[in-house]
Amino acid sequence: MSFHTIREIIGTAVIDQGFCHALVAGDRAALLAAYDLLPAERQMLLDIQADGLAAFAQQVYERITMAQQAPTLRSVQAGTSAHHTSAAHIKCRPQI
């Protein structure tokens, strides 16, 4: 798994409002095309449904954790945990 690349994507979303909106609610496929991800990793990120960056990052974390326990990412593409922290409601913040 391309942990470095996935961390880069989440980190960029934290500091760049336009990138954040594209990742969470925009054209995620076009955004991810610029990154060197395995097809299963790209699909995992495309399958996430979140209303903010914190919820998106939480789902990434949950899916990666599940993938580490399963032989392939295919086993985690179908769902996510219902557990979300209060930070899950944070929206993309304006760029400073």
pLDDT score recorded for residue 76: 46
Is the distance from CB of 37 to CB of 5 less than 8 angstroms?
yes
Per-residue pLDDT of the chain (96 residues), as tens digits, is 578 999 999 999 999 999 999 999 989 999 999 999 999 999 999 999 999 999 999 999 999 888 888 665 454 455 544 444 444 445 565 555
How far the first Cα of the chain sits from its last, in Å, is 32
* AA letter at 90: I
Give which of 38, 48, 43, 53 is closest to 80, Cα–Cα: 48
Contact 60, 23 (CB under 8 A): no
Average pLDDT, the chain: 81
Q: What stretch of H or E contains 65?
A: helix 53-69
